[in-house]
Structure 1
Amino acid sequence: MAIGTLTPSQEQGSSHEALLEFPDNRLLIDLCGEYDRNLASIEQALGVQIVRRGNQLSVLGEDGAREQAAAVLAALYDRLETGRSVEAGDIDRELRMGQEEPAEPGSQLEMFRGGKVEIKTRKKLVEPRTDAQKAYVQSLFEHELAFGIGPAGTGKTYLAVAVGVSMFITGHVDKIILSRPAVEAGEKLGYLPGDMKDKVDPYMQPLYDALNDFLPGKQLAKLLEEKQIEIAPLAFMRGRTLSNAFVVLDEAQNATTMQMKMFLTRLGEGSRMVITGDRSQVDLPRGVSSGLADAERLLKSIPKISFNYFTARDVVRHPLVAAIIEAYEADEKPA
């Protein structure tokens, strides 16, 4: 185990102390981080005080916060014992997992809590940072058709591409196809120069960014050249049958009802399909209904299709992003 002892001391005012002992001083240094920045992050998030005493850490704080801080430190030390590093995202993940609200009995979130979920790619090991993300990743591995719906910054597309790369490098699929509607986000961009690829690449850039995180540059370029990985606008999917492929439709809220139906019916033998979108960011012309909303309404009762939902609590970008999303959501609610 990571921790030798975890013992609450006597009460100090309204606070208590938990003493944690770590057997490997070298790993303890990595746990604390440069200038104890990792400890400072935990202190700030949970309102506790962490004091280092030799190979021990003393955690001072109220019962719930103290226990959560101790659990976070234990999990991060376990990670170091397996040879992995501790980064800011790892601390954020452990803090979030401990702060999630209780799941309803029998719900999807309850089923996926507890066990570790990891996605192996060529460049990095990807781990979900919230329980909703964990449930989503499980759904991507277990269902042939899955929807990820929620605000920007919740990892919907990033995790879907990570799962696609993982299934591709393990031989479960023969190719990866990433698509999104080429719809301007409220602006008129005018005529873009260059050939067709040059014209559509600006719309596809987030997908390229995700792939670059998971595959070495030369390998990615080769796979793109050999068409084992394809990135194309949604309009290019018409008439195709996508077999033995991992297919992602990103920004699906900007697909029309007919486009969504066309895309869903491309699903072929041995393929998996993921549709991601944010219902609050529809850029379609006024009066044109979103294919994502229609698909959600029409397909939700089909048992083999999974729907996974995210909220501002699942935002893993800058903390201000979650606050911004919550502010807009509050403004949209009727008084």
Structure 2
Amino acid sequence: MFHMIRDFFLLLLLVATVEMGIRYALVRYQFASTEQARVDQAAQQLSNDVKSIMLNSGGPLAAQTVYPILKRNYDDLGLSIAVIPSDVTVESMKQSFKIDVQGLQPIWKDGPHLESAVTLTAEQFCLNCHVKAKVGDVLGTVKVGSYLDRKETAWWTEVKLTAGSLSLKILVHTILLFFLLKARMEPLLSLRSTVSRLARGLVDLSPRAKVNGADEFGELAQDLNHFLDRINVVVTDLDQILNKVVDASGRLSSLNRDLEQTIDGLRETSSRSTEGQMQGASADYRALAQTLREMALLEANMQNIAQSGQQVLHRLTHVEKSK
């Protein structure tokens, strides 16, 4: 039982490890298959946000305040963003608002990543602030990048957060399994004790398994008890046959001695008178006839013993098939 609990505990650890490995593989797969579409969508959303900011009165001034908020929001989504103003926009902001716009300069680090960029072009309403631009000029570019190491960092953080709860869960499950096995294995342990007593008792077939319920262990205990009952019947029959064989052997020995005495008597009387010989021979022949009758009776008993032996063999075959 303790080996089963140990194996179960190790199996849970293995399952947890495999689950974390599968999650990591899923992170890599999603990054390779679906992350580019997510980055493209985020870049388009960022361009719409920038346009919405510029539509407000004092948009260029408000952008300096809103851009850091956008950066934090996209950081929470695991994305890096940049808003790069064009030269036309920089010159226009200097002339209109006397400010040197910087936007959000990209801080791209080395490592596997995906990137998407959307250009912002001037429309008619943009010319109020972008005095140096014409309709259709590029006012700036928004970029969104997604790095694999940020995905891996998020995965590792999840692993560390779930490691404690997962360890506690494994421990609780192992304890519950111990008590469950202890309750469910008690009938099996009782069967094992019964079989052990039978093995030590040699010919003692008196031990019986305790039937604790109607489940599989209870049915197994009943089958074992029925099997022992049948074996007990077979052993009883074998004892009876053995007694008959011993009795027949004794009688056969007695008949052999009587036959030898009769033959010796016939030899001794061969030298006597004819009349005495006839009388003695008549008595000897009668004794010999009695001996032959007893031998015929012994032969009948031996046939009965053989038939009983065949019945026992038939029962043994039936018991073996029932196993």
TM range (shorter): under 0.3
Normalising by the residue count of structure 1, what TM-score does the alignment of the two structures yield?
0.17
Give the structure with the larger helix fraction: 2
Q: Which has the higher strand share?
A: 1
Q: TM-score, normalised by structure 2?
A: 0.18
Higher-Rg member (1/2): 2
Higher relative contact order (CA 8 A, sep 6+): 1
